Amino acid sequence: KVILDTAKLLKSDELFAGFRINKKGNKLLYGVSKKGSDLTSWRVRDIERGVDIGHSYDGVVWGAIHFHSDGKGVVYQIDQGVDGKRGLRAPFYYRLPGNLASVRVIHTAIDPKASSSYPSIFGKKVLVSENYSHSFNNRVYIKNADQKSRARPLELFAGLPGDYRYVGWHNQEMFFYTHQKAPRGRVIAVKLDKRYSKILSVREFIPESDNNITSIYLLK
């Protein structure tokens, strides 16, 4: 069945900004951009009933929104014009679709010199990627999802400058696509303890070859 018809949804000056589906497959998060703006408005739709629920998430930096791993709330970044820029260092918030009072900050930039900061949440942990001086190089950290926690974040690739794109995790290993020491790309696996607080090992999962790796996904 059709769960969202953008032809009926969008006005003449609006563009479709993308969608997310939660793990249970019963809720859809979709975005709309007015006049192609990077600042977008998102709504949560009940797939079974075919209706939008709760309040919209407005002023979201393009793409910086997804369902929380708890299956209930939404994590998103609102442009705050930090330092007169697009606000890519702005905090990330958590909010239940139908409860404005549930808003809370779950992540703020770790390094004040970071030009952008983006978290991915899994369980009670947050994987953070921060870029510097608008370069492709980034630093990767793991921290607690609880903003009140004072635990020091774990940096995964300290002293190894490069670009690291998170692919996924399986059996306590986190997989990253990187050009570090590999201009054509490679995939490495970082094994952590059960608390995600200590690095146990780093291994090369897919070595660099004569061909460029253009994209990679971890499926199930």
**pLDDT tens across 112-159, in order?**
788 888 888 776 788 889 988 767 899 999 987 665 666 788 999 998
Q: For the full predicted model, state whether its pTM sits above 0.85.
A: no
**Structure confidence by residue, pLDDT tens digits, 44-96:** 999 999 999 999 999 898 788 989 888 889 999 887 665 545 566 778 888 99
pLDDT of residue 89: 74
The Cα 97–Cα 45 span in angstroms is: 10
Is the pLDDT at 175 greater than 70, yes or no?
A: yes
Q: Are 104 and 122 in contact (CB under 8 A)?
A: no
3-class secondary structure, 4: coil
Among the listed ranges 12-16, 104-108, 113-117, 148-152, which one has the minimum average pLDDT value? 148-152
Q: What token pair was written down for 146?
A: 């609880």
Q: What token pair was written down for 44?
A: 């949560």
Q: Are 6 and 16 in contact (CB under 8 A)?
A: yes
Place of tokens 């094994």: 191
pLDDT of residue 146: 64
Percent of the chain's residues with pLDDT above 90: 55
Please report, in angstroms and rounded to a whole number, the separation of the first and last CA atoms in the chain.
Answer: 25
Among candidates 124, 90, 84, 125, which has minimal Cα distance to 109?
A: 90
The Cα 73–Cα 81 span in angstroms is: 25
The Cα 89–Cα 15 span in angstroms is: 25
Q: What token pair was written down for 96?
A: 């239940």
* 80: Cα separation from own chain's centroid: 18
Q: Please, which pLDDT band fits residue 21 given cuts at 50, 70 and 90?
A: very high
